[in-house]
Structure formats: C-alpha cells, structure tokens
Structure 1
Amino acid sequence: MSLDLGVVGNGTVAGLINSRGDYEWFCLPRFDGEPVFNKLLGGGGTFTVWMEGLTKRSQTYDRNTAILRTRMEAEDGAILEIVDFAPRFQHKGRTFRPASLVRRFEVISGAPQLKISLTPETDWGGRRLKPIRGVNHVRFVDEELSFRVTTDAPVSYILTETSFILDKDVTFILGADESLTDSPGVIARDWEERTRQYWAKWARSLAIPFEWQDEVIRAAITLKLCVFEETGGIVAALTTSVPEHEGSSRNWDYRFCWIRDAYFTVTALNRLSGMGTLEHYMRWVRNIVAHSKGGHIQPVYGIGLEADLTEDVAPHLPGFRDSGPVRRGNQAAEHIQHDVYGQVVLGVAQSFFDHRLLAQPGIAEFEQLEPVGERAFAVYDTPDAGIWEFRTIAHVHTSSAIMCWAACDRLSLIADRLGLESRAAYWRERADIIHATILDKAWNDDVKAFTAAFGGTDLDASVLLMAEIGFLPATDERYVATVDAVDRDLRMGDHVYRYKVEDDFGKPKTAFTACTFWFIDALYRVGRVEEARRMFETVLATRNHLGLLSEDVDTETGELWGNFPQTYCMVGIINSAALLSKPWAAVT
C-alpha cells in the first residue's frame, strides 16, 4: 500500500486510483461522504482490475486534464488502456458535474484476459453493498445511499469475478440510480471529449510561470479538484486517516474546509489568474462570517458549512497499512485558533481590488468583515491551539498573532480603497498596536529568531510567513536571522519540519512539506536564490509518478505520508515556482 495514486474528480466527487487501475478511495455523495471504495484504509470496497500475464504498467494524465490513463501490457503482447474521469463541462449554461465516474477499457492490441471486480461497501467497511442485477447494469441500494453502475461489459462476469477475454472496448458509468439516455459507450465518449475540452480550456487560461509549467498546471488542476463547487468550500485533502508516519496515531480526517488551507489555495490559484475559485470561496466565507455574528469562528467547517464535525473512530477499517485509527469528523472544529480571523480577511481581500471579478464587493461587504477584525484585535495576545492544532497545549502563538495583524492591516487597506478614511485610520492603529506587540514579545534575542510563542524559545516554521504577508520585509535582519535559525534547527537535508518539540503525540518523525516550500520561498526572499532552486527541485522529486504530493515526507526514504493529495503542498509548488522561475521576458 502506497500513495502512488491518481485523482479523478469534478468538483462534486473525487476518487483515487492506483497504478494497477484499482479504485482505492471514493466517497458518495460528496468528498466527505460514505467511502464506498475504501481499500486505501484496509477495507474490501473497491473497483479492481486483474490482467492475465501482466508484465508492465504505466499511468499518466492526458495533457492538461484530469483524465487519467492506465496502460497495462501482458507477456503475450496484449495491451489495455483504462481511461478514468469524472465528467465536468459546460452544458445549457451551467457546469455539468454529477456524482459520477466513467471507466473506459480500450483494447490497444491482442486479446487481454481480465477479471473486473466491483465490491462497494458501506457503514465505513462494516458491510458490503448487495448488488441488484439488471440486464446492463448493477444497482447498489442502501438506506441512505444508492447508485447504479451501467456497463456494456458482461454483467455476469463482473458479479462472479470471472476472468474473460476482452475483444472489444467496454465502458462503466457509475452514477445516479437511473437509466442512461444512450449506450454507455456513446455517452462516455461524448462526456470524455467535452471534459477534455473543459480542462484544456481552463488550463489555457492560467498565467503560469515560464519554468516548471507542467508541474504548476498539474498542481492547479489538483487544487481545482479539491473545491466543492456547490458551496465554494475547499477540502484540505480528499482522504482521512492516512498517518503522518507508520503507527503515529496522527490520523486525521482532512475532508473538510479549513479556512487557513482554503486561503492558501485561493491565493495560489489567484496567482495563476484562476479567478473562479475566489468568487466561489467568497460566497462560502461570507456565509461563515454571517453565521459567526462577530463572535468565535471555527478553524474548520464542513464543505456544506456544517459546524458540527464530531470526531469518532470507524471500527471496521484497520487503516492505511494497518496504522489505525480511522477517524471521521475532526475535533479541530472545537479548537480556539486565532489565526483564522486573519485568514478570513486575507482570503477575500483581493476581491476588493480586482476589477476582473463579475461582482466586486463594496462597503456592505467591508462592514460585514469588520467584526472579524474586532475579534482579531480582541484575541491576538491570548493563548490558542495554534496553526498546528495542539490538542492539550495552549500558548500565545506568534503565527496566530501575525494573522490577527493581517486582518487589521488588510481592513485598513480595503477601507482606504473604498474611500473610508476614518475606518482606514481606525484599522491602521490597531494593526500597528499588534505589530509592535509581536516585535516585542515574539523576538528572542538569545535564540536570534522569532519564536513559536510569545516569550518562548522553540522554533516554528510558520513564522516564515511573516514576509509573505507583509508583516516584515525580507531584508529585515530579524527575519533573515529567523530563516538562519530554521535552517539550523528545523531543516534536515532538503526538508523542513514544522517544529521539533514534543506535542500531544510525541516528536514529529516526518517533515511537513508545506513548511519546506515556505522555507524555499524564504530562501529566495533573503537572496539565497540558487539554494532555493536546488531545494525546490529536490522536493519536486518526492512527488509521486503523477506529480502529486501528500502532507508529509520521510526525510530518509523520501516516502510520502499523510493525507492525499494535500492542498497545502500543491499550493507550495505553485508559489515557489512563481517566485523562482525565470521570467517569460528572458525567452521572448
């Protein structure tokens, strides 16, 4: 079991497929729903493909799309390609993105002998869904779950898991429990071509850097697949409970929308001119702000704005490589994390300045944000769980205070943009107060760095973000010294740990890849450009065969760990490439 997986999706559902063509993870009716294919976490629910005499396999995405192609070659010369995608395209003035998957089996040469197994489960691995056979379909119906797989393959062979010779192309369409309007093959071909056109057009609209174009485009498409388009919520990852390292118990459910992670995702896509995500996310955030009524804002919500994300353990799944527990829900929703107020404002600030938006916010939207700033000012110097969501540890975390400053700073800039001089001065005064406090309380002259918490001595890679958000210029000697301290104490080879002190689960044993990207960006900003470029190439080499990253990496083996694909890390690819790339002008 590994994270050599590809992702297919359409903004409603997403699935993970391994290099053998097996579905290992797929939830219905949306990202955070019931996993009907759960092999990733040790369950028996999957959609597998076995090929007689298999000797070689490879997997690629069709260029600039989310269409995945798995090629399988047998010793007798038979070659098969499996094309997987989730339909997404414009249809009758709206985006067609049903809770559906399409699998096409193409015979390239010879007569492949296959065994195709379709065994979805429910109750988090507690029981297998009973198939209800039709002439050209199989229905799976449960109390709260129903879907249909329609195919032109022999249904009897599929249900009995009998191997058979594939002498023609066949198609499977998983979707709503209703009849199709045409044959699966005709529909699949039409949907595939229109989905291909959609992704190619979207990728074409991106303002990518000159260098690392393919890496950036793949990262952008992957981020797009993590956006739940119905509401604009953005999941931190598509999986739950893939541990940070084997046996760590650091197994969390990431299929929810952290305001922090979503801010980074929106910012990265904005950098590439992917404005649609900002517009969708603005609506999601405005609802969060309205619900808070100027009070506490949770760090994480469901993609449908659900506030109750009660965490429990799924008893039937052993976990990734038997490294349970498998958690569903996330206790972080109950945490106090003050950085969230800055990320709310940062996430939508650009919308007040960007003339490309179809509907630009104004004074009413600014006034709706002001209570968020008031809350930030009220709590910036009080203890919280911090960016890393400690469960039993509370400090006045520097990164949280910096984000509270950002809330007030950006509100001042927005007010000035709107011509509200008194409000601009009001928020500038508050930003300046927070700024002075952080410089006084977070800098440790003995350590020669801004530390993780006010008055502390421990380091935390998250303070590197202070230059990115404009808290200090990268030329400030204190920032340069902090970069040097992180280099000395948190870096291992070309990877960076978020911290190295014990937390609720002991000391971290894997590097947090997002922090590595933050450090790369910091190196660039302080003038260590060639070192940053070399380190960036090393981190890119840890991606899986399809260019995707999970949350963590083993610094000794380079193996990926943690939930997958992780938006933080895909964001890092985009941001670092944008900073490090040679300009287009150099070659035009």
Structure 2
Amino acid sequence: MTHTSSLELWPIGNCQVSGLIDETGALVWGCVPRVDGDPVFSALLNGEQRDAGIWRFELEGQCSASQRYIRNTPHLLTTLEAKDGSAVEILDFCPRFERSGRMYRPVAYVRIVRPISGTPRIKVVLKPTKNYGAGIADTTHGTNHIRFLTGATSLRLSTDAPVGYIQEGRTFRIEDDTHFFLGPDEPFVGNLREQVRSMEQSTRKYWQNWVRMLAIPLEWQEEVIRCAITLKLCQHEETGAIVAALTTSIPEAAHSERNWDYRYCWIRDSYYTIQALNRLGALDVMEKYLAYLRNIVDGAKGGQIQPLYSVMGESELDETTASYLAGYRGMGPVRRGNAAYKQVQYDCYGQIVLPSVQGFFDQRLLRPATEHDFENLEQVGKMAWAMHDQPDAGLWEFRTRQEVHTYSAVMCWAACDRLANVAHHIGKQDRAQIWRERADAIRGKIEEKAWKENGEGGHYGASFESDYLDASLLQMVELRFLSPDNDRFQQTFAAVEEHLRRGDHMLRYAAEDDFGAPETAFNVCTFWLIEALHLAGRDDEARTLFCTMLSHTTKSGLLSEDLDYETGELWGNFPQTYSLVGVINCAGLLSKSWSEVR
C-alpha cells in the first residue's frame, strides 16, 4: 500500500508519549520512551516506504475513511468502510488518569477496533522500527502477546486478537470489539477487555474535566479547546518541559533543507505556550513548567541560559542526521538534535522572568514564589542587563551571523521591568529602584539604536545595526514596551505590514538568511498581524483574517509552523505550539463577550 505523507494528522498522547495518526487511521509517528526518543513509528519520515515504522488496520475492500475526536478529548475515532458495506471503528488513545494517588501515564498506545456493520475483515500491520529507522524491530511472542525489541527499549503488545494472524499478516474476520495495548514490556495485569475499557473511560473523564475548568472565549470554542488540549500534549509532565512540536524535520518549504528537530523545550516557545494557557486558566501546565524553569536556572548557576534544552533539562543536543530515514516525502535530511543549543539568544532571559513573575502575584498557585526564587531570578536579570546590547543569533536563530536584535533587547528590558515590579511588590524598594533604572537605561538604548529615521518618518529595525524589518517588532505592544497608540509603533506596524505581508499571510522577514530568501509564511507572525490589526481598531479586517487562518487548519483543527502563501499548503513541524498559541490569543481578543448572550 502506498500513501503520500501529508500533515493531515491527528495527535494522541498522555504527556509522556504521543502519536500522530494519519488519514487512513495509521499510527505513523510516535517516539519512545518520550517525545525526543527513538521514533518506533517513523513512517511519516520514511518517504514512500510506508511498510516500516507503522501500525495500521487494513479493512478488506476499503473505500473510505473518516475521523473525529471524541468531544473535549484527544481520543480519536476513525471509521473505515468497505465497498460491501462492512465497516469498523478504531478508537485511539493513550491512558492518562489518577491511580494510587498519582497520574498513570504509561509509555503506551491503546487501540480498540469495533465492527459496526456487515462482516468486516481486517489485517493488522504492526512494524515498529529501531534506531531511527535502521531496521524493523525484532519480535518474540507468547500466547496473547508479541514483544518488539526496539533497541534501547522494548514494547509488548497485549491483545485479544489472534496473535498468529498478526504475526503472519493474515486477514481475519472481526466479530467483536478487539483490544490492543502496546506498552511496557511486562505482563498485562487483569482482564484485558475490562482493563482497557476502564482505562478509556477514566482517560476520557480526565480530559473532559480538564477542559471543563478552562476559561474559554464565547466564539471559536471548539478551536480553542482543541488547541489547548494539544498544547498540553506537548508538555512532558515528568519534568514540566514543553516541546515546540511533536516532530522533527518536516521541511519549512519543499526541498528547502530547512529541516529541524523541534522535540525540545525552547525557552521562547514555552513562554508563549504558558502565556496562552494561562489566559485560559490552565494553571497545572504553568506550575509544572515553572518547576522546570527553576531547575534550568539552578543549573545555569547565574550564567548563560541556552535557547533550548531537552525535556529532561539536558544541555547538549548535538545535531546529527538519521541516515536511514528518507524524510518527509523523501525530502531529507532527517535531523536528530539541534545545534541551536550552542547559540546565544538573549531574549531567553526575558522569557524566563516573565512567566516566573506570576508566582509572586497569583494566590491560586500551590507553590507561591519565595524570596529565594526572587534572588535566583535576579541572577537571570543580571544577565539580561549585561547582554541587552550585545549581538546574538536572534529569535529566528540565524546560524551564520549575529547582530544586536531589537526583539532580544526588548525582552531584556522586559526582564528588568518585571523584576522591578516584583521587588516593589515584595517590599524590596532598593532592588526595585535598581531594576527600574536598568529598565529605563535599556529603553533609552533601544530608542536610540533601533529607531531608523527615513524621509517619511521612520520605524524600528529588526536590529541595531540594520534597518530591515521582521515581524517580531509587532510584539513591542504585547510586551508593554509601547502602547498601541504610540506614534513610533504605528509607523513600525505600517512598515512591517507593507514589507512583510503577503496577501492574508505574514513572513517573519523578507531578507535572505543562511538558506536564501524565505519561501513560506510563518503562521505565528500572521497571528501577530491579526493582533496588531485589532490594536489598530481594524477589527473587521482582523476577524476576516483570523477566519482565513482557521480555514487553513488540518481536519484535526491544528496548524504546523509554516504555510505556502500561494497554495495554502502547510509545511514545517507539527503540531506547532507557536501557531496554536496564535489561535488561542486571537480568539480571546476578537471574540464577543459572554455577557452578550447572558
């Protein structure tokens, strides 16, 4: 069976492992024992070779497939129909519920196949790979299970389907609900049918209760809920880290070689994720992430903070190539690791301080911030103060040049500004004065160095050294560096829109970078444009553009990183937290008030 990869994918997960299901109901991407582990389901990046790294159910005579999530959960239902009227329904989920006083979230994928009409016959194709596609996992079996030796770890399939049929690839009639639990290599305890059904019900209840506590806008509720659930799936709950995406090496544009591994915790991306979920009241995600940040700050010992870390806080993420995988649609390379960890990106200091500040003000938190936390944050602030006017790689992570990027300088200002606020709040007026003076000094430097005069006025430049534009300048209002009615912001917004807008979409920058001129729009930048339109009082235009962006989501209601502004095709890693944040933030800004229907 051949099938061309696309980003029409449906995430499942439990904050320990995740998986992506394609339009045929096949599990085509999933890493164990966590998101940055070995992709035992690697078919998404295996070019046209789709019989390795996959788990699918082939319905004899199949003619159609349809999919939907169970309301307010990441539980996926796929219906396969055959020409003779036979049909099956596949329910996919990863267990997550409280058990024995703690969250049960095993390294496990659960699939239940149900006959719903006719006399369906299926074949189970389950071929996990090992060592980044180097080969098919070796197997052994017992009466009701199959063991898959996937390299550093091993998995066990427990099932009430005929094990021999699965091993030999035989087609068989399915006459009753059939259960598949692919998890830790240990005996399955209890009655499989009863236990799996109980897991599904408990997991469904967990997610629906979690959604029930969200403070969502009146309009676009389904879209916001789906993005919120998916953002939560991007958190590795064991440590609190939040990854930028669940995949590696989906190209930013066709044959561009802009293929990067996003299965790591970028301090910047996580800041935006936490900001969006906090607006919805999802404090559980924020609390766990703040614990992760405290560990990162402790590990830095007052020194330089990296742009990204592994979900376990590992600092060295050497970038290599997985040579056995052909890549998305054969467009390699497939990268493992990300050399950006070696870069200096000084915006990260602000992105540590800003979410941490809430701990000093929010009475809902189980662990309020302490004076010791403030002292540690001051060490981060000292680095922001020292580096605010020094060259870095910038938020777009240029690999071959450095400048003093305006966005990084503004984030350093924000770090000092918020530390002044915290110091005042906790009664440390001497420290408040020091941090306010530093914030004011950075503001003065930005106004002097980043503002570029021209014959018709001027605009802020993307860096102190040059006058080119990038979309991050639109964040100067969000960060409270400028007010929306500030004349300099309005001039900058006009310039950014003129130079970077491409129809309904926004480039992050138009200047050539290490790989040439950008070929696709950057989705979060389009959402920043929508926010700026709202701030400028152009709400009708903002709503129209927002609805256009929603029309580009996958059938699962999600977005990747990039979009071809001419064809509308999605590119880049998926699901991209940046982009989902944009949906949540813009829905909150543009929605009618709940009071209008009460």
TM-score over 0.5 for the pair:
yes
Letter in 2 for 1:569: S
Match of 2:334 in 1: 326
SS in 1 for 2:533: helix
Q: Does 234-243 or 434-443 show the bigger shift?
A: 434-443
TM value normalised by structure 2: 0.97
Match of 1:357 in 2: 365
Q: Does 322-331 or 139-148 show the bigger shift?
A: 139-148
Match of 2:472 in 1: 462
- The equivalent position to 1:571 in structure 2, one of 561, 577, 581, is 581
Q: Does 439-448 or 200-209 show the bigger shift?
A: 439-448
Q: Is the 8 A contact 2:131 2:150 kept in 1?
A: no
User: Aligned runs of 1:171-186 on 2, under 5 Å?
Assistant: 171-186=179-194
Whether 1:558 aligns to 2:568 is yes
Q: Measure how far apart 1:451 and its partner are.
A: 1.2
Q: Deviations over 1:487-530 (max 9, x none)?
A: 11111111101001111111110100011111111111121111
Whether 1:379 aligns to 2:387 is yes
SS in 1 for 2:595: helix
Match of 2:462 in 1: 452
Whether 1:581 aligns to 2:591 is yes
Q: Is the 8 A contact 1:362 1:418 kept in 2?
A: no
Q: Measure how far apart 1:101 and its partner are.
A: 0.8
Match of 2:171 in 1: 163
Q: Is the 8 A contact 2:17 2:107 kept in 1?
A: yes
Q: Tell me the distance in 2 between the aligned counterparts of 1:243 and 1:352.
A: 41
Q: Tell me the distance in 2 between the aligned counterparts of 1:23 and 1:279.
A: 31
Q: Is the 8 A contact 1:483 1:523 kept in 2?
A: no
Q: Is the 8 A contact 2:110 2:180 kept in 1?
A: yes
Whether 1:431 aligns to 2:439 is yes
User: Aligned runs of 1:466-505 on 2, under 5 Å?
Assistant: 466-505=476-515
Q: Deviations over 1:248-298 (max 9, x none)?
A: 110000000000011111111100000011110111001111111111110
Whether 1:338 aligns to 2:342 is no
Q: Is the 8 A contact 2:57 2:122 kept in 1?
A: yes
Identity, % of aligned positions: 52
SS in 2 for 1:457: coil
Q: Is the 8 A contact 1:275 1:357 kept in 2?
A: yes
Q: Tell me the distance in 1 between the aligned counterparts of 2:366 and 2:95.
A: 26
Letter in 1 for 2:74: A
User: Aligned runs of 1:124-523 on 2, under 5 Å?
Assistant: 124-446=132-454, 448-523=458-533
Letter in 2 for 1:339: D
Q: Measure how far apart 1:331 and its partner are.
A: 0.3
TM value normalised by structure 1: 0.99
Q: Measure how far apart 1:342 and its partner are.
A: 0.5
Whether 1:539 aligns to 2:543 is no
SS in 1 for 2:291: helix
Match of 1:34 in 2: 38
In the alignment of these two chains, the number of paired residues is: 588
Letter in 2 for 1:239: T
SS in 2 for 1:546: coil
Q: Deviations over 1:219-242 (max 9, x none)?
A: 000000000000000000000000
Q: Deviations over 1:94-125 (max 9, x none)?
A: 11111111000011111112111010111111
Q: Deviations over 1:46-83 (max 9, x none)?
A: 10221122222111110000101111111111121100
Q: Deviations over 1:419-470 (max 9, x none)?
A: 1111111101000111111111111122732111114121100111110010
SS in 1 for 2:374: helix
Q: Tell me the distance in 2 between the aligned counterparts of 1:133 and 1:98.
A: 21
Q: Measure how far apart 1:143 and its partner are.
A: 4.7
Q: Tell me the distance in 2 between the aligned counterparts of 1:560 and 1:229.
A: 28
Match of 1:70 in 2: 78
Q: Tell me the distance in 2 between the aligned counterparts of 1:351 and 1:582.
A: 30
Q: Measure how far apart 1:92 and its partner are.
A: 2.1
Q: Measure how far apart 1:142 and its partner are.
A: 4.8
Change in Cα spacing, 1:532 to 1:82, as seen in structure 2 (3 Å) is same
Q: Is the 8 A contact 2:524 2:561 kept in 1?
A: yes
Letter in 2 for 1:22: A
SS in 2 for 1:445: strand
Match of 2:65 in 1: 57
Q: Tell me the distance in 1 between the aligned counterparts of 2:246 and 2:410.
A: 29
Letter in 2 for 1:66: P
Match of 2:24 in 1: 20
Structure 1: state its 5+ residue gaps: none
Q: Deviations over 1:3-60 (max 9, x none)?
A: 0000000010000000111011010100000010100101621102211222221111
